[in-house]
Amino acid sequence: MSRISYESTETLVFDPVSANRAATRASLYNLGFRHIETAATLEAFEDAIKRSPPDLALCEAQGGDEDLCRVIQSLRQGITGYNPFIVIIVTAWENNTQLVRRVVNSGADDLLLRPFSTAVLGARIKTHVERRKGFVITSEYVGPDRRKDTSRDSGVELFVPPNSLKMKAHDRLSADEVAIRLEAELREAKNKLNSEKLRRDAFQICVLWRLMQASIPGTGKFDVDLTKLQEVTKSVARRCLGTEFEPAIDWCQSILAALEGLSAGVDRNASMHLLGHAALNLHQVFAPERTAAEHLAEIDATVTLVRARTETAMAS
């Protein structure tokens, strides 16, 4: 096994506190990192990721974790930046339950509590070089597998994300070799991310349609589901642009038209019929191997589970 060397890796450090940025940079330098860029604001951090994605990003969450987690989530979803799969370690001073939950749900690789030693930081980074967790893609989450019981079948497929940090530090590839390999792996992984997100988002659209059928227009639940449907449908349409799935945009437009009718209170039955017809056809585009009856059975089974969870939560 080759010795790990971080000399050729690219690292980005975001921390609004100058002293903390300097301390993190010093620790990284002591570990052998030489190409270290720093950002004092979240905007500068996001711009740096878009301009030149690093192999490793360390970002401070304290005082602005919600905004930071939105940036990380956007990156992981493939919305921001060229490489959605960079290694991300979030740092924080406080072991706050809500903060931890938001960081975990953002898709970050790790959360490291301050103050930390150079040795601890080095051990964490080494873990993501040698034993990085496989990634999962769901309708709401893209990132490391967080399941505690990995023996249970969740229907979610694990995949190995491209890891340029490992290519440079462990595999010791040249710059040209990294560029060629990373380009190939990113192309495959981003295609997988896009197609899986489209499939899962189309399924979510169908589930939301079924839930809305049993809701009363004008109620909070109906309005929340309608807004969510609009957001997911617009996201699907954006992802389809320039891909083999571009014809599916027409079904997205039909869904949005139906939702406009529901919002305006125009012929609920006709709007709901159009919504269901378009939603099922959209889902069929991304999962053509299954019949319409099979799709509907899976959708209704999920709706039953959602309603059962909702009733349990309301009763407790």
pLDDT of residue 154: 54
Count the neighbouring beta carbons within 10 Å of the beta carbon of residue 27.
19
pLDDT of residue 1: 44
Q: Is 301 a domain residue?
A: yes
Q: Is 79 a domain residue?
A: yes
Q: Is 5 a domain residue?
A: no
Nearest residue to 204 (alpha-carbon basis) of 286, 102, 87: 286
pLDDT of residue 67: 96
142-144 and 135-137 beta bridge pairing: antiparallel
pLDDT of residue 315: 76
pLDDT of residue 304: 94
68 and 156 share a domain? yes
Q: What is the mean pLDDT of each run of 10 residues along the chain (316 residues)?
A: 87 97 98 98 96 97 93 94 96 93 96 97 98 94 81 69 98 96 97 95 97 87 94 96 94 98 91 96 94 92 91 77
29 and 152 share a domain? yes
* Domain end position, chosen among 120, 138, 173: 173
Q: How many structural domains compose the chain?
A: 2
22 and 112 share a domain? yes
Distance between CA atoms of residues 92 and 64, nearest Å: 10
pLDDT of residue 156: 73
Q: Is 3 a domain residue?
A: no
Nearest residue to 6 (alpha-carbon basis) of 156, 154, 172, 160: 172
168 and 198 share a domain? no
Distance between CA atoms of residues 262 and 223, nearest Å: 10
135 and 218 share a domain? no
pLDDT of residue 155: 62
pLDDT of residue 216: 84
Residue-range definition of the domain harbouring residue 109: 10-173
14 and 159 share a domain? yes
Distance between CA atoms of residues 48 and 26, nearest Å: 20
Q: What is the CATH number of the domain that holds 32?
A: 3.40.50.2300
pLDDT of residue 4: 95
